[in-house]
Structure 1
Amino acid sequence: MSSLRRLRKQLVEDLDGFPIPQPFSIPALIRAMEGQLDRRILLRPMPPELTAPGSACGLRVKMANGASLVLFPLRSTQYHQEHVILHELVHEWFDHGGTISPVEFQRMTPHVGTNLIRRFTRDIPIAARTTYESEQELATEVCANIIRDLAARQNRATDDLVGRLEASLSHPFARRKRRKNQ
């Protein structure tokens, strides 16, 4: 078994208990997570000045009042926005660290003034990533994909006519079977 397959299998087990709502939506997922984590999660679009090339795709800020702020890129496809949000929510679920310094935050957000960054980051942990080089980042990225897959399966599993039609049109053909002599 490949290492990525092993990682995915382990992460599916780790996500046992992750509250995937049915039908799936980001707002419903956030409500379910807030209920289980007993803290508020605020979802907001990133200010345009934070979305320069090479800057973070998403940010998670643990605020002093116990809430978490998840920022996502507004000028992106809906699929990418949802993926970034899921990625940040996985960090929230597992309470991953990743606090960055004001200097690192300035490097990732060059269009934001230094004084504003100092004021914004003074006593607040910020988790932001621009690459997926660490094991934690790779695992978080895979978890975001797993959640999307599980949510799609749940939504397809509905027994109503629309659900069955969607399931049949999404995967109209079975996998090709290999011949034994090949």
Structure 2
Amino acid sequence: MSVVWAVWRLPATRQDMMSARHLRERCRKIIDGLEISRPLDVTALCVRIGNQRGRPVRLVPLDMPVSLSGLWLSIADYDAILYESRTSKVHQDHIILHEIGHLLAEHNATPAIEDEVLRLLMPNVDPQMIRAMLGRTRYSNPEEQEAELIASLLLERAGRWRPLKKWTPRPTTAAIARRLEQSLEERQDLG
């Protein structure tokens, strides 16, 4: 199984470091009330989130346009998460968890959508007309970072961040490697 790592810009200033810490704390609080199973079953998690919110979460695999891998839509009586069907299960789970991150953080659903996505969802309707009905809002970079961090934290809590295989360190570094491994295992157990 390959692991999807979130790519983050390193904080440039002390203020950026505080902002990153604040974001991580906010994301942890958002997911604290969720029951995360081991191993993680993303479909079951979506059912639980839907039950908690009183709105079902429906997962819709699609052949997405190249520029898009996932999308969260708020429909009248349910939430739909569209995700790329032509990728690995691990990547699909990460895409779904990213969209769940938007939902849990209460970001606005259905942002400005590219014409190709509008055509995919509603092939017989002019994209300009749909855009006019939806308004023209865009996800901000902080919202994308928050959704990505929520997805990563959910995977971390489910134990997906553990190393896939054991390795044997050289005798000269064995003590350091053992302390590092114990430290990381203790951190994993806190989640």
Change (3 A) 1:133 1:67: closer
Q: Is the 8 A contact 2:72 2:109 kept in 1?
A: no
How far the C-alpha of 1:30 sits from its partner, in A, is 1.2
Give runs of aligned pairs for residues 1-182 of structure 1, distance below 5 A: 2=17, 3-46=19-62, 48=63, 51-53=64-66, 55-64=67-76, 66-101=77-112, 104-106=113-115, 108=117, 115-116=124-125, 121=130, 134-152=141-159, 169=165, 174=178, 175=180
What is the identity percentage for the equivalent residue pairs of Structure 1 and Structure 2? 25
Distance 1:141 1:148 in 2: 11
Change (3 A) 1:125 1:170: farther
Farther off after superposition, 132-141 or 5-14 = 5-14
SS of residue matched to 1:62: strand
Change (3 A) 1:83 1:97: same
How far the C-alpha of 1:139 sits from its partner, in A, is 0.9
Change (3 A) 1:29 1:107: same
Q: For 1:69, give the aligned amino acid.
A: A
Distance 2:82 2:144 in 1: 17
In structure 1, the gaps of 5 or more residues are: 157-165, 178-182
How far the C-alpha of 1:67 sits from its partner, in A, is 0.5
TM-score (norm 1): 0.66
Distance 2:54 2:104 in 1: 11
SS of residue matched to 1:152: coil
In structure 2, the gaps of 5 or more residues are: 1-13, 169-176, 183-191
Distance 2:30 2:36 in 1: 14
Change (3 A) 1:134 1:67: same
